[in-house]
Amino acid sequence: MNGPEIFKLTRLTGVWLCLVFLPVWGASWAVGILIPNILSELGKESSSQSLFMFISDLCKLLTPILSILVFIPINAMFMVLFERRALAIFTVRMGPNRTGFDGLAQTAADAVKLLFKEDITPTGADALLFTLAPIIFFAPSIFGALPLLAAITGNHELFQIVNLPTGVFYILAAASLPVVALVMAGWSSNNKYSLVGGLRAAAQAVSYEIPLVLALVTVCLMAGSLDVVKIAEQQAGGILNWNILGGGALTGLDKAIPALISGNSAEWSATLAKYYPHGFLSALATVALTISSFILCGLYLTSACAEINRIPFDLPEAESELVSGYNTEYSGIKFAIFFLAEFTNLFIVSSIATVMFFGGGGNPIPQWILAMLPMEQISAMMNSLLDIPINKLQLLDPKTFWNAFWVIVKVYSIVFFAVLVRGTLPRFRIDQLMDFGWKRLVPLALITFMVVVFARVAVVCHAG
């Protein structure tokens, strides 16, 4: 075991997560709560109350965008260093250890160096498209993530404005834009390797968007909603209610377990009859939904990995074949934008998986287990820790804290899994990539969709 590197990764994660989330929350709170409260007080004593109200509403409107703009660059620097450290563990070698204490400032130094590199446009390149490509590639990372803010924060008041009734469609629409930028980057570079990389990106996106969309649409079918906040809320109550375990198919079992523990056989039978009204058929449907949900999660993670060009689906870059693919000719700030967007897309993909399959910011421990724990004492302790004078301005509360805690654990666990895949699997050949998408994933996604359509009828999903 690479013990020292594991310890360094753990320490790195703790330090950087504080550097990532404390400024984001501080900026969001200041703009969305503190400033509007101050303006509201000033407006009461002023004749220009309507002006103060307008500025206050404008601050609340800009809060989600500000939080994204603060979060993306800091989080990308952390994820680069996190990946390098994790790969060092998997390959039993040393990670970055030169800049800062044990390399904690390595990616910050790399980012500063990259920003001062010369920005070169190749001879014969289309300068306009060459410049627009990284911008179009990066923009969906900002706007596509907005509905997720409401879902992963438990529909916090700061982000309720971006809670869209059709949030899933909005996210999928934004996710389809980056491939256009990759084709633009490849074609406008006047480089045959870049052009091949851009064309590969287009072919890969066409192939893997189908199972990805089918997986998410099937989850929406189980949830009965396209609202990411409602989908996350329906999974509240512990791991047995997560979409990964059947989209509510095990809710009846979760509700009946307390009666089983207490020995109340009548309540046990009544609960099972309520949630599984068709006897053996309901039991069979529950098993089918549970298995289907695991398949859907695997389909989504696989297809999303291909959509963001992660190993083993990094054919558009493929250093051993295409030098660096679509971004071969890019340097300086333009290359930095591509690099920033790639790691941001990995985070967004992980956030979507957390909301759609893993219960969002909900506690994964079932309620009947929490009932056995001294939760009143734990809640009182948390309230006392967070009961500080400045909290009168709504700085933080236990619900927000725990919601953020579980989101961080789930999202970065998926990121760690993606890094593990990169460190262990080889790259597909282009023919293998296309065969896997069209001959394996697409048929499997269609079959799973049909199974869920018929199995869902026999189970009362999300009842009560």
Q: How far apart are CA 183 and CA 434, in angstroms?
A: 18
Treating both helix axes as pointing N-terminal to C-terminal, what angle do 265-275 and 251-262 enclose, rounded to 10 degrees?
A: 170
Please tell me whether residue 366 adopts helix, strand or coil conformation.
coil
Note down pLDDT in tens along the chain; length 464 residues.
567 777 777 887 888 788 788 888 888 888 877 787 777 777 776 666 777 788 888 888 888 888 888 888 888 888 888 888 888 888 877 777 777 777 778 888 888 888 888 888 888 888 888 888 888 888 887 788 888 888 888 788 888 888 888 888 888 888 888 888 888 888 888 888 888 888 888 888 888 989 999 999 999 988 888 888 889 888 888 888 898 888 778 888 888 888 777 777 788 788 888 888 777 788 888 888 889 999 999 999 999 988 888 888 887 777 777 777 788 888 888 888 888 888 888 999 999 999 999 988 888 888 777 777 665 566 666 556 555 544 455 566 677 778 888 988 999 999 999 988 888 888 888 888 888 888 899 999 999 999 998 887 776 554 44
15 exposed, middle or buried (CB, 10 Å; 0-12, 13-18, 19+)? middle
Token pair 């633009």 in the structure block, residue: 184
Whether a cis peptide bond, with omega within 30° of 0, leads into 312 is yes
Q: How far apart are CA 452 and CA 456, in angstroms?
A: 6
User: What is the pTM assigned to this prediction?
Assistant: 0.89
Residue 289 near residue 243, CB atoms below 8 Å: no
Token pair 């869209």 in the structure block, residue: 164
pLDDT at 393: 53
Distances (CA, A) of 220 to 42, 168, 240, 258, 347: 45, 8, 18, 29, 21
pLDDT at 46: 67
Q: For the chain, state the CA radius of gyration.
A: 24
pLDDT at 460: 59
Provide the terminal-to-terminal Cα distance of the chain, rounded to the nearest Å: 48
pLDDT at 156: 81
Tell how far CA 186 is from the center of its chain. Answer: 27
Q: Give 104-131 as a 3 state SS string.
A: CCHHHHHHHHHHCCCCCCCCCCCHHHHH
Sequence-separated contacts (24+) of 251-256 with Cβ below 8 Å: 251/275, 251/461, 251/462, 251/463, 251/464, 252/276, 252/459, 252/460, 252/463, 253/286, 254/366, 254/367, 254/368, 255/464
Q: How far apart are CA 66 and CA 159, in angstroms?
A: 11
Q: How far apart are CA 443 and CA 451, in angstroms?
A: 12
Q: How far apart are CA 426 and CA 419, in angstroms?
A: 13
Sequence-separated contacts (24+) of 15-24 with Cβ below 8 Å: 15/104, 16/77, 16/78, 16/81, 16/82, 16/104, 17/78, 17/408, 17/412, 19/74, 19/78, 20/71, 20/74, 20/75, 20/78, 21/404, 21/408, 23/70, 23/74, 24/67, 24/70, 24/71, 24/74
> Of the candidates 335, 344, 441, which has an alpha carbon nearest to the alpha carbon of residue 116?
335
| DSSP states of 261-330 | HHT-HHHHHHHHHHH-TTTHHHHHHHHHHHHHHHHHHHHHHHHHHHHTT-TTS-TTT-HHHHTTGGGTT-
| Domain range summary for the chain, segments of one domain joined by + | 1-110, 117-458
